[in-house]
Amino acid sequence: MSTHASKISMEKIVSLAKRRGFIFPGSEIYGGLSGTWDYGPLGVELKNNIKREFWRTLVYQRDDTVGLDAAVLMNPRVWEASGHTEAFADPLIECKVCHERIRADNQEDKESHEKTHRTRKETPAWTEPRQFNLLMAAELGSVEGKKSSVYLRGEITQGVHVNFKNVLDAAWMKIPFGIVQIGKAFRNEITPGNFTFRSREFEQMELQYYVRPHEAESMRWFLYWKEERMAWYKRLGIRGANLRFREHAPDERAHYARAAWDIEYNSPFGGWKECEGIHHRGEWDLSRHKEFSGVDLSYFDEEAKERFIPWVIETSGGVDRALLFFLIDAYREEPDKDGVRTLLKIHPQLAPYKVAVFPLLANKPDLVDRARKIYTILKSSLVAAWDDIGNIGKRYRRQDEIGTPFCITVDFETLEDGTVTVRDRDTMRQERVNEKELIEHLSDKIKTGS
Ligand code: GAP
């Protein structure tokens, strides 16, 4: 709890996110809708960049994985097979004083709720824990009386498993292989909160990796993916001290899970919180879908002349949670000559804008024209911002706060020799670069994150 992240106030993050257009409360002008969030002009860029990096690492840079984009709505039998209609329920307790319901296992919420009542001189008391289904129901069909109930998917996972055979037949994959998916999931969370951390509509990014049903081999893959996923967060800039692995306690683990670990982040709201889960799901998924659908989901290994139901190693992360933790981890306040500068020290690959272009003076047409030309050329390769308002110092501050790694100033020297000033967000160092070399110069730095 002594690391940097735990000291940052969430008010500052929430306020920056709103003010600069990263994250807005959902349906705000109607008083909001609990557990929903809208991503603004910069938020959608950051979110897309996170998803692109996930896809690049898990699909494009490998030969043993492919992508998929399954429907949100699925045949309700899917959720019976997966166990969600039965088991996707949180034990809840209800406050006998105000009837608010909270998770029975959330000691923190329980204590803070009891404190509120005590300060009002009321005596808190709870009901026994009861089950509550987290699946969100929807009605399909437009004719009254002929509607059928379906669920919005509670996890993106099942869309992958029900397509196991389709992918196998279409893409000719050989075990071990994985299917990657990113998409929305919905849960009737009892206590959404901590900004986007627990929402009712959120996005997941997952890999379902199918392996041979062999104990030692499957565990090797489990350990491999556990390390890979941790390395991904670190490579994209989250400080190692703010990340850790945590093994699920036996009573937390699904009954079919052979191993379950979380990657946790040291958050400013109550310390270590789950960011991503890595689970060894054994044969549960495919054997259940085989049983409930009646379709044979076994795999025939040509080399070993062996038929089996593959085991599944899953990595399941939240896009919104990753985004929140990337934001928190990147947020810095540093003393400088004008007081304090706020900056988002976010990895250039994730930064919404890669570069901002400024004409030194907004009232000199020669400078503005030349800067516009450079800006237009840069925009064909990199996501770029334009700013000609206020002095250069103020423009730097505005870009620092949203994480733009490089700012380019076009000045009178540019008109003479074609060089511009490139200023680095983190070091604030400036160098002269020829305008013709800018794209190559910046692209290298963005790729390596330096
Ligand atoms: N397929 C496995 C699965 O869905 P999970 O631990 O329930 O496992 C995986 O969810 C990830 O999805 C979590 O680690 C978290 O990052 C994200 N997630 C789950 N519930 C969420 C919520 N209510 N709001 C935001 N993200 C959530």
Residue 70 sits in a domain of what CATH number?
3.30.930.10
**What are the pLDDT digits (tens) for 277-318?**
999 999 999 999 999 999 999 999 999 999 999 999 999 999
Q: What is the Å distance from ligand 1's center to 214 Cα?
A: 28
Looking at the structure, do residues 413 and 291 belong to the same domain, yes or no? Answer: no
Look up the domain containing 48 and give its range: 5-74+157-327
Q: What is the Å distance from ligand 1's center to 317 Cα?
A: 6
Q: Which pLDDT does position 1 carry in this prediction?
A: 41
| Domain count across the chain | 2
Q: What is the Å distance from ligand 1's center to 207 Cα?
A: 13
Residue 413 falls inside a structural domain: yes
The mean pLDDT value for 110-135 works out to: 85
Looking at the structure, do residues 237 and 365 belong to the same domain, yes or no? Answer: no
Q: Taking CB atoms and a 6 Å cutoff, what residues make up the pocket around ligand 1?
A: 155, 157, 187, 189, 198-199, 202, 204, 274-277, 314, 316-318, 320-321
Residue 84 falls inside a structural domain: no
Q: Whose CA is nearest to atom 2 of ligand 1?
A: 316
Looking at the structure, do residues 196 and 290 belong to the same domain, yes or no? Answer: yes
The mean pLDDT value for 108-129 works out to: 86
Residue 22 CB-half CA count within 13 A? 25
Residue 29 falls inside a structural domain: yes
pLDDT band at 101 (very low <50, low <70, confident <90, very high): confident
Is the pLDDT assigned to residue 449 strictly greater than 80?
Answer: no
Q: What is the Å distance from ligand 1's center to 406 Cα?
A: 34
The mean pLDDT value for 385-411 works out to: 97
Looking at the structure, do residues 243 and 192 belong to the same domain, yes or no? Answer: yes
Residue 306 falls inside a structural domain: yes
Q: Which pLDDT does position 36 carry in this prediction?
A: 98
Looking at the structure, do residues 61 and 187 belong to the same domain, yes or no? Answer: yes
Looking at the structure, do residues 50 and 163 belong to the same domain, yes or no? Answer: yes
Looking at the structure, do residues 275 and 393 belong to the same domain, yes or no? Answer: no
The mean pLDDT value for 132-147 works out to: 84
- The CATH number of whichever domain residue 392 belongs to comes to 3.40.50.800
Is the pLDDT assigned to residue 192 strictly greater than 50?
Answer: yes
Looking at the structure, do residues 393 and 261 belong to the same domain, yes or no? Answer: no
Looking at the structure, do residues 358 and 323 belong to the same domain, yes or no? Answer: no
Is the pLDDT assigned to residue 337 strictly greater than 90?
Answer: no
Residue 414's nearest CA partner among 434, 393, 444, 387 is 434
Residue 401 falls inside a structural domain: yes
Looking at the structure, do residues 185 and 241 belong to the same domain, yes or no? Answer: yes
Looking at the structure, do residues 170 and 236 belong to the same domain, yes or no? Answer: yes
Looking at the structure, do residues 362 and 314 belong to the same domain, yes or no? Answer: no
